[in-house]
Amino acid sequence: MPERMVVGAMTMPILLGLEWAHNLAHAAAASRIGKPMDALRITWGTPLVIYSDINDPTVTPREHILRALGGPVFNALLLPIALYLRLHTHPTSITRDLADVAVGMNTFLCTVSMLPIPGIDGGPILKWSLVENGRVPEEADQVVRKVNCVFGVILAILSALAMEKKRPLLGLLMAPFAALMLAIGSGLLREQ
């Protein structure tokens, strides 16, 4: 029990630190291209990058994409380091537990953030890629909604399959994303 308490106490700074670093990487990318974020909102200790006008005409589609890529690219760069540390720790050690957390969180942040959900990284990347290729923002928003609907159905099916295969954690992780994507796809939730 004391060892689990130590691991828990050391895990939270890793989880929150990687989440903060992810968002600060977005801020750094935005600042680097000269289109900084408008605010950094902190809710329950977790940061959220804020852009007041998500369709700001002074920001090019490429700049929108670069700002959205900052966080996932940062976590993708950290992932090999975490994997290396995991590889070089004893399987039953506290350092292995911490390395596992770093691998898991970096994997989560650089993959799940790429889901095409408006408001997280994949949604703006998809939207502004479409705009860069000739669509107007309103058309791109409609495509993003349709893609969310399809992905929502797929994630709902995968969530149900995970539950059936006795993988409840995976199923419970996918279920809220499926619900969110279906809500976006059906128009119940909108970014603005």
The per-residue pLDDT for range 68-122, each reduced to its tens digit, is 999 999 999 999 999 999 999 999 999 999 999 999 999 999 999 999 999 899 9
Q: Are 184 and 192 in contact (CB under 8 A)?
A: no
Residue-range domain boundaries for the chain = 1-114, 116-192
DSSP bridge partners of 40: 49
Residues 120-147, mean pLDDT to the nearest whole number = 96
What 8-state DSSP symbol labels residue 58?
A: T
Q: What is the pTM of this model?
A: 0.89
pLDDT band, very low/low/confident/very high, at 8 (cuts 50, 70, 90): confident
As a whole number, mean pLDDT of residues 148-154 equals 97
In the predicted structure, residue 141 carries a pLDDT above the cut 90? yes
Q: Let me know if 109 is exposed, middle or buried by CB neighbors in 10 A (0-12, 13-18, 19+).
A: buried
Q: Is the pLDDT at 192 greater than 70, yes or no?
A: no
Residue by residue, DSSP assigns 91-123 as TTSHHHHHHHHHHHHHHHHHHGGGSS-TTSSHH
